[in-house]
Structure 1
Amino acid sequence: MLDTHFRKYIQRIIEMGADFFIKLGRKANDITILALFLGIFSGVLVYGGYKITALIFLWISGYLDAVDGTMARKKGSSPFGTVMDITFDRIVEISIILGLAYRYPQYDKLLLLLASTIIISMTIFLTTGTMANKKSEKSFYYQAGLAERTEGFIMFSLIILFGEQSSIWLIIFIIMILITVGQRFLEAKRILKD
C-alpha cells in the first residue's frame, strides 16, 4: 500500500541515489547485489542482538532495493535483473526471519507461519504477474496490496525492536499478509477471468 500510494513523495530521494550510482558507472544489478548482502548482514545482526545496527542495515538495503529499480528504469532493465531483484528480496526476508527465529526461539511457530504467508502471497503475486498481459512501470505486472515491501520493513522493524515482546507484531504482520493474499487472489480472479 505504501509503495503504491506514497512512493511519489520520496521518489526524488531514490532518484538521487540512482543518479549517484549511475555517475559512478555502476549497474542496477550491482546495487541489487549490494542490497542483498546488506540485508543478509542485517539478519546476522538480528541474531547477534544488535537491534539498531540491524535496522540501519535493513533500511539501507531497502533503500538500495528501490534505487536499483529506478536505475533499471533509467538505463534499461534486463529480465535476469528482475529475477535477481525479486529473489534477493525474499532472501533478505528469510535472513531476517531466520535471525529472529534463532534469537527468539519462543516465536519459531509464529515465524514459520509468517514465512508461510509470505510464500503464499508471493506465489499469487508472481503467478499473476506471469499470466497477466498488463505491465506497470516495472518490468512485470505489479499487484498492490496491504502488505507491500515498505509495510514489511516497518513490521520487521517493530518485531526486531520489541524482541522478546514481539508476538503481537508478528500476529499483526501475519494478518496483514493474509489480507494481502485475499486482495491479490481476488484481483487475479478479476483480471485473469476464470
Structure 2
Amino acid sequence: MLDRHLHPRLKPGLNRLAEMLDRPGISPDGITLVGFAIGVLALPFLALGWYIPALVAIVLNRLLDGLDGALARRRGLTDAGGFLDIALDFLFYALVPFGFILADPQANALAGGWLLFAFIGTGSSFLAFAALAAKHQIDNPGYAHKSFYYLGGLTEGTETFALFVLSCLLPHSFAWMAWLFGSLCWLTTFTRVWSGYLTLSQFSGPANKDAAGPDRP
C-alpha cells in the first residue's frame, strides 16, 4: 500500500549510490547476494535474542535490495537478476518470523506460524499473477522499474519492513503484531486473487497446457 508512495522518494538517493558503485567488478547480482548473506545473519541473531544486531542486518538487507535494482536499471534489467532478487527476497521474508519463533517458541510459535502461513498466501498470489501477466503482456506502469508485473496490496514491502523493525524494537510484542499483520496479509491475498482473476478473465481463450498445470489422473 505504501510502496508506490515511498519508492519515488527513495529512488533519487538509491540512484546516486548506484552511480558511485557503478564500477567494474561490482554487479547487481553480486549486491543481491551480499545483501542476502547479511540478511541471513538476522536468523541466528534473532534466535539468540540479539535484536539490535538483527535489526541492523534487516536494514542493511533492505538497503542493498534497493541498491541492486538501482544499479541494474543503469546497466539494463535482466530476467536472471529479477529472478534471483525475488527468490532471495521471499527467503529473507520467511527467515525473520522463523527467527522470532526460535527466540521464544512458547510465546511466538503459533503467531509466527500464522505469519508464515499468511506470507505463503501473499507470495503465491503475487507470483501466480506475475507469471500470467507476463504471458499476456499486461503493463504495470505503477511499478515500471520492476522486472515483472508487481501486483500491489494492503501489505507490501514497506509494511513488512515496518513490522520487522517494530518487532526487533519491541520483541515481546511480536506475537500480537504477527497475528494482526498476518490477518492483513490474508486480506491482501483475497484482494489479489479476486482482482487478478477479474483481470485475467478479460483474456479469452484456453490456457496452454503448461500454464494450466498437470493433467489430473
Q: TM-score range by the shorter chain?
A: over 0.9
Which amino acid in 1 is paired with 2:122? S
* Residues 49-58 or 26-35, more deviating: 49-58
Cα separation, 1, equivalents of 2:147 and 2:170: 36
Q: Please name the residue that 2:129 is paired with.
A: 128
* Residues 171-180 or 122-131, more deviating: 171-180
Q: Please name the residue that 2:8 is paired with.
A: 8
Which amino acid in 1 is paired with 2:173? Q
For the residue of structure 2 that corresponds to 1:166, the secondary structure is helix
* Residues 167-176 or 125-134, more deviating: 167-176
For the residue of structure 2 that corresponds to 1:7, the secondary structure is helix
Cα separation, 1, equivalents of 2:62 and 2:125: 22
Give the conservation status (yes or no) of the 8 Å contact 1:40–1:91.
Answer: no
TM-score of the aligned structures, taking structure 2 as reference length:
0.84
Q: Please name the residue that 1:62 is paired with.
A: 62
Provide the aligned C-alpha RMSD in A: 1.5
1:73 aligns with 2:73: yes
* Residues 31-40 or 72-81, more deviating: 72-81
Which amino acid in 1 is paired with 2:111? L
Whichever of the two has the greater Rg, that structure is 2
1:109 aligns with 2:110: yes
Q: What are the equivalent positions in structure 2 for 1:145-184 lying under 5 Å apart?
A: 145-184=153-192
Q: CA deviation at 1:164?
A: 2.4
- Tell me which stretches of 4 or more aligned residues in structure 1 moved more than 3 Å: none
Cα separation, 1, equivalents of 2:52 and 2:25: 31
* Residues 10-19 or 30-39, more deviating: 10-19
Cα separation, 2, equivalents of 1:45 and 1:177: 25
Cα separation, 2, equivalents of 1:40 and 1:170: 20
Q: Which runs of 5+ in 2 are unaligned?
A: 203-217
Cα separation, 2, equivalents of 1:20 and 1:176: 38
For the residue of structure 2 that corresponds to 1:146, the secondary structure is coil
Larger proportion of helix: 1
For the residue of structure 1 that corresponds to 2:153, the secondary structure is coil
Kindly, what percent of the aligned residue pairs are identical?
26
TM-score of the aligned structures, taking structure 1 as reference length:
0.93
